[in-house]
């Protein structure tokens, strides 16, 4: 992850990005989901019918009526209390950690992309089975992507299964997604008729696997588009100033390079700082700031000073 991709180095965004500047994408997503749920509950059957006809995903509407917005909007619609409760609980549990690693904007991009991928894969399989009229809704596909990325980062962290039995995250993922795989296979055989979008869960998890394994961050994939506006960090030495003679007429002694304190910009080359900063931020997410070594704290200070220099226009 490039140092310019991190939120504390980015310039203040405008427009849509300003909604999440300095805030939490996870909290915003939860608030939107809850607001949509409450509006549907208050609006009663007419509002829920609107949700089902225009916001929930229907494969016929997506492919034949080109209502492609449903590939995003379905992920914000829930009709049942426990459905939204579990989805938002898992989003809060894993999303805060991932947002600390990727930043709110990159996490939001990942989440929305996962929703689109999960919805599209479900719609394709729904058409293959001859469906098209039964709507699909809920944030489960996008949350499954975030959950799988979290498992890849922290496979040995424990979670209380059924709020009772502590199990490591890797085992929880096997149980959770293994159940979905079994349900998907049974649904193709007509043995499982539960109204669960198994394909959306599995495709969301699959996207999470690819995202983490192949580093599919949008900030990296779109880096080429923003090169024109991102300054490169360069370590340079200012022109030497002529020495003023001392009062006795002798030249002032020059400071030796060994005794001079290096400027922050000269401690680490950009590519080394970039790689080390990724490792340090992941370590902070796992162990907290207190677990950092003196060298790691110095690297954080280096990145912070470069960010301040960039904002102040001192680096050209």
Q: What are the C-alpha distances in Å from 167 to residues 88, 151, 155, 276?
A: 21, 12, 10, 31
Residue 168's SS3 state is: strand
CA proximity to 76, closest of 108, 123, 44: 108
**Looking up tokens 């996207």, which residue turns up?**
207
pTM over 0.75: no
Residue 192: how many CA atoms within 13 Å on its side-chain side? 15
As a whole number of angstroms, the distance between CA 30 and CA 134 comes to 25
**Residue pLDDT tens, the chain, 316 long:** 544 445 444 444 444 444 444 579 999 999 999 999 999 999 999 998 999 999 999 999 999 899 999 999 999 999 999 999 999 999 999 999 999 999 999 999 999 999 999 999 999 998 888 776 688 999 999 999 999 999 999 999 988 877 788 889 999 899 888 988 888 888 777 776 667 788 899 999 999 999 999 989 988 888 756 555 544 444 444 444 455 554 544 444 444 444 444 444 445 555 566 667 777 877 776 666 767 788 878 888 887 777 667 655 544 4
Strand positions, DSSP E, the chain: 158-161, 165-168
As a whole number of angstroms, the distance between CA 57 and CA 41 comes to 19
Burial 150-160 (b: 16+ CB within 10 A, else e): bbbbbeeeebe
Alpha helices in 189-246 (DSSP H): 198-213, 218-221
Note whether 167 and 161 are within 8 A (CB).
yes
Q: Both tokens of residue 63? A: 């492919």
Q: Which helix (H) or strand (E) holds 137?
A: none
In the chain, CATH 1.20.1540.10 sits at 23-223
As a whole number of angstroms, the distance between CA 138 and CA 179 comes to 18
Task: Identify the CATH class of 23-223.
Answer: mainly alpha
């Amino acid at each position: 992850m490039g140092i310019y991709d991190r939120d504390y180095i980015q310039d203040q965004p405008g427009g849509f990005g300003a909604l999440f500047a300095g805030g939490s994408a996870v909290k915003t997503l939860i608030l939107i989901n809850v607001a949509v749920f409450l509006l549907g509950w208050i609006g009663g059957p007419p509002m829920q019918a609107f949700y089902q006809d225009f916001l929930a995903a229907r494969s016929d509407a997506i492919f034949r009526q080109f209502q492609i917005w449903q590939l995003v909007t379905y992920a914000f619609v829930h009709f049942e209390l426990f459905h939204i409760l579990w989805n938002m609980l898992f989003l809060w549990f894993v999303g805060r950690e991932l947002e600390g690693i990727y930043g709110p904007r990159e996490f939001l991009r990942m989440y929305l992309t996962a929703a689109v991928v999960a919805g599209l894969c479900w719609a394709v399989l729904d058409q293959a089975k001859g469906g098209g009229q039964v709507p699909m809704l809920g944030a489960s596909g996008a949350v499954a992507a975030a959950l799988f990325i979290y498992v890849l980062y922290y496979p040995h962290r424990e979670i209380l299964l059924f709020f009772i039995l502590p199990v490591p995250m890797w085992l929880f993922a096997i149980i959770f997604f293994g159940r979905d795989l079994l349900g998907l296979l049974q649904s193709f055989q007509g043995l499982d008729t539960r109204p669960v979008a198994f394909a959306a869960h599995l495709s969301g998890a699959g996207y999470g696997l690819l995202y983490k394994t192949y580093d599919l961050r949008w900030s990296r994939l779109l880096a080429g588009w923003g090169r024109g506006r991102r300054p490169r960090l360069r370590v340079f030495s200012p022109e030497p100033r002529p020495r003023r003679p001392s009062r006795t007429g002798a030249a002032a002694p020059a400071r030796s390079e060994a005794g001079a304190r290096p400027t922050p910009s000269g401690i680490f080359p950009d590519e080394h700082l970039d790689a080390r900063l990724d490792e340090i931020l992941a370590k902070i997410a796992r162990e907290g700031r207190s677990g950092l070594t003196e060298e790691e704290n110095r690297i954080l200070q280096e990145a912070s000073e470069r960010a301040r220099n960039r904002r102040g226009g001192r680096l050209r």
